[in-house]
Structure formats: structure tokens, C-alpha cells
Amino acid sequence: MGWKEIYTNWKQSPTLDADVKADLEALGDDEAALEDAFYQAIDFGTAGMRGLMGAGINRMNIYTVRLATEGLARLMEAYGQEAMDRGVAIAYDGRHHSLEFALESAKVLGKHGIPTYVFEGVRPTPELSFAVRELKTYTGIMITASHNTKEYNGYKVYGEDGGQMTPEDASALTNHIKDVDPLTIEVEDLSQLKASGLYHAIGKDVDDKYLAQVKEVTIDEDIIKEMKDDVTIVYTPLQGTGQLLAEQAFDQAGFNQVVYIDEQREPNADFSTLKSPNPEEASAFEYAMKYGKEHDADVLIATDPDADRMGAGVKMPDGEYRILTGNQIGALLTQYILTARKGTNDLPENGVIVKSIVSSELPAVIAKHFNMGTVNTLTGFKFIAEQIKQYEQTGAHTFLFGFEESYGFLIKPFVRDKDAIQTAMLFAELAAYYKKQGKTPYDGLQEIFSAYGHYAEKTISVKLSGQEGAAKITEIMNNLRDNQPETIADVPVEAVEDYQAGVRHVKNGETETLNIEKANVLKYYLADQTWIAVRPSGTEPKIKFYIGTVAEDKAGAQAQLAKYEAFVMKFAN
């Protein structure tokens, strides 16, 4: 069926939701906009789906949410009555339509006789992961678009281990609904679900259990007790979900000098104080920097709208604040975790950190210094969660820390996704550790560079929207595979890893099999220890280029980055 026919069916539907109908009418006769909204079903990948809100099968609306949930319900039915009886935990952020999408999910599941456990108010993504494990539900649904701008929303599904849905289950879910018209999916009345006991509201009971686990993230309580009145922290949830849990977590950890940003404490679907609610961007720290200077804060901490990613700013010698990269935060946390656990005689012989293949190599070098291992996974925290599950089953390793360069970190595996609440607590402890020595986390980072080399990384995201953008991304990846360079910026390419083919090509023409799941990623290793990776984003219409390099000093590393960025941008234009 072509997009025009699908559009006509929606336009002529007598039962079309009023809000969706208004969105459809707002598109008018703009054929390009209509085609983009209807030319394909919104992609449901292993991270769920995320997209612009509005009318159409390629948008986030109650019908696409119902469709995804219908697939989940049918998947659970295929797994049997035990799976259905255990039910589904559901959480949502403060975006437009998030509560509505959460309730629509519950109404679809209820129609299949599947119980739901829905948070009574907005909650972070990591707490949803925790709730699945704590309540022993079979799956979980998180309604969020993470750090995207206000026009977006999303839908993520979690497995019974609290990790994001496996690729196999995601594929099975989509197969269950490949021929289903989203306009025809039946839902149960919410009042009926409550009366029949298929809808359960959850809140403080789960909060308290989650916070009890967060308390265990602290490694050295004595440092916090000694420095609790001396280290000053500015925290902002960026008008998202983090304030409730972060504030309680700071209190129970013992930090007495935490400053909260009045203008950003409460969830706001329009993110009215922000250009972008993304802690990867320095602009997100505008208010935090202002409060930091007013209160002479040691560190600034920001969690993104669903509080799974954490960014941080550190005080510089001149009193200004520098926003750290995700890789720099990862290096600081790795150094601190291993140093502190060694100091408390709690460093296991088989300990490992787990990171994504596009993240910095510096934490791996630090881990090696402590005789700890490093395991690399594909991008996506579900792959880190899979490693943790494997270690629990085999005992082969003890998980110490997981991270991705995109500001995702996990300290303790009672959550199986990145967790900014945990990370904020440990970063505050890290700040206390350095302040006790008369230093700042920035000083600590310079010490790391002095000891291991000056590592520098850069991520370049190129937005390519719509059908033309998707075709351009495919063309770039195909061209790179068909024309593998022997040199990049006049530096020899020593090896190329093609994760889609599952093969590593080395300079002498030999190939090796990659023992990792397949994905559309290419990674180049150069003779000067630089690496470059390229991959389409799994959640946004972007292609991403990653560069990692090392030099003797900052100037050398920055010069390396600039040289390779110029090469990368040739492919992006």
C-alpha cells in the first residue's frame, strides 16, 4: 500500500483521535511533509522507537504506540501464560503526550489480559529498569525521547533482566504486527482495568527500594563525612525527571552543600530554559554555570530529561567552568573507582570495565594499570547489560564499571541501563576526594593525562533527515565499504573492522573474525594510534563519526583531531 492510500485512510477515519486529526490537518496539502509522515512505519529497532510527534505511521502518536504495544502483547502471549501473568512495568517522562502514551500502552496490554504496573508520576529510565527487576515483571516500557528536543518522543522496551529488549525479541515483536493496521487496534477502558485489577499504580514503594540500592554506590563514606560541608555541588535535572530521586540520593549520601536550580527543577515539556536538554552540549549548563559562580561550586552536574545520561562541569583555575566530555568523565570515574576500591581492599582479581567500541581507549589503559580487564561492546547499553548477565551466569568476571562516550554510565548493576542518578552520586564523591587533596576534578584529569598520555576524542554528528537523508547515509556507508582507504590524512591504515560483515581486515590482506554481534559500523585503526569509527545513529536521522587519538600533550592531540576531522567531513558533505 502506498503512502497516499495510507494517508487517505487516516484522513477519512471517522474515529481518528482529535489531537491526531488536528496534527494531520495542520500538514495541509504539503506533499513533502505528508510523504515523510506516511512513507514508512516508524522504525522499531533494538532500542525501541523514537521520532517526531504528530500524525502518520512515521510519527509518534497514540496509534504507533498502540501498534508497538500490540506487538509486545502478542510476543508475551507467544511466550505463554507465565509471561503474561508477570505483566509489564511502565514509566514515562515529562514530555508532551508521555503520560497519554503510557496509559495507551496499559490499555492495549489490558485488552490482552496482561497486568501493568504504572508509575504515578514521571520517573527516570534507570528506575524503570530497576522496577522490572524488583517487581519481576516480564517486560517494561519507558516512554521517553531521552535528550532529544521537545518535538520528539519515544518508546523503549526492556526485558526481564532490566536490560533493553534483545534484537531477537525486537524482531519477533515487529513480525507480530507487520500486517496490522494501527487504526484498528482495540484498547480496554482504563476504569475497567483498574476495577479488574489489571492496572496497578506504583511510586514511593519502588522509589525507596531503588534509593536503598543507590546508597551502596558510595565507595568511601569517610571522604563524604569529612568533606560533606566543604564540597559544593550544583545539580540540574534539565527540566526532566531527575530531581525527585537525585535530591533524596544526595541527602542520604550525606552531601550538605547541594544547590538546586529553581528554574529547572520541575519537568517542563517545552524545556523553556534550554536550547537543547542535552548534557553533551555546553549550552545546557547555562543556568548551572550561573548558579555555580554565585555559590562558588566545585562541580556542576546535569542529568538529561530521563536521567539516564549525566554531564558534568568542573571548576578551572581561573574560576570558570569547563564541561567535560563523556570520555573524560569515564576516565575520571574509572580512575576513582579502581583507586578507591583498591584502597578498601575491594578490587577483585577478575574485575572488568565494559565500554562501547566508539568510546575512548583511556579507561582501558587505566584499567590495565590496575591489572583489570576491559571488554568492548557495540554501541547501546543493552550490550553492556548482556555482558553483566553473562558474568553473573559464568562468574568469569566481576563488573566494575560500564560506560559509553555519549554520557552513559553504570556503577552498580542493580540497574541494567545507564543510570545518571548513580553516576551523580559517585561523581560528587569523586569531587570530595579531590577537594580533600586541595585539588579539583580538572586537576585529577590532568594527572591522568600525565600518567597515561593525552587522549582526545571527538564525535561528529551529521543530521540527514527524511528519505533523502536515509539514502545518503546508506550511500556513505556503502562507499566506505566499497572503497576502503589505505591511508587516511596520509597516515597508513593498519586495520579495518567491519562489524556488519563480522570481519577485521589487517594491512597484509589477512582477515580475522570479529567475535561480536553484527552492526552497521566501520572502525579504522591507524599507524599513529588514532582510530576512526563511523555508524548511522540507531535513534536519530544522523550518521556519526568518532575520532580517538593520543599524543604527548594537549596541543598535539588537538592537532591530530583537527587533521582527521577535516578528512571525515569530506564524507559528510
List residues with catalytic annotation: 146
Q: What is the DSSP track for 461-519?
A: EEE--HHHHHHHHHHHHHHHHHS--SEETTEEEEEEEETTTTEEEETTS-EEE--S---
Residue closest to 421 by CA, chosen among 218, 221, 204, 137: 218
Extract the C-alpha cell encoding 221.
563514606
Could you give the 3-state DSSP secondary structure of residue 142?
A: strand
Note whether 400 and 353 are within 8 A (CB).
Answer: yes
| Alpha-carbon span 377 to 171, nearest angstrom | 20
Q: How far apart are CA 66 and CA 101, in angstroms?
A: 8
Q: How many CB atoms lie within 10 A of CB 296?
A: 10
CB atoms within 10 A of CB 155: 27
SS3 131: helix
Q: Exposed, middle or buried, 32 (CB in 10 Å: 0-12/13-18/19+)? A: exposed
- The set of cell numbers assigned to 199 is 492496572
Q: Are 119 and 203 in contact (CB under 8 A)?
A: yes
CA distance 68 to 75: 11
Q: Is 101 helix (H, G, I), strand (E, B) or coil?
A: helix
Q: Which amino acid is at 280?
A: E
Cα separation, 118 vs 273, in Å, equals 29
How far is the CA of 465 from the CAs of 37, 388, 480, 540, in angstroms?
Answer: 12, 35, 20, 9
**Closest of 313, 290, 261, 299 to residue 429, by C-alpha:** 299
Cα–Cα distance, 464 to 572 (Å, whole number): 10
Question: CA 483, CA 478: separation in Å to the nearest integer?
Answer: 8
Of the candidates 47, 121, 135, the residue with the CA atom closest to the CA atom of residue 85: 135
CA distance 149 to 204: 29
407: closest CA among 265, 474, 307, 480? 307
Which is it for strands 310-315 and 199-202: parallel, antiparallel or unpaired? unpaired
Q: Are 449 and 455 in contact (CB under 8 A)?
A: yes
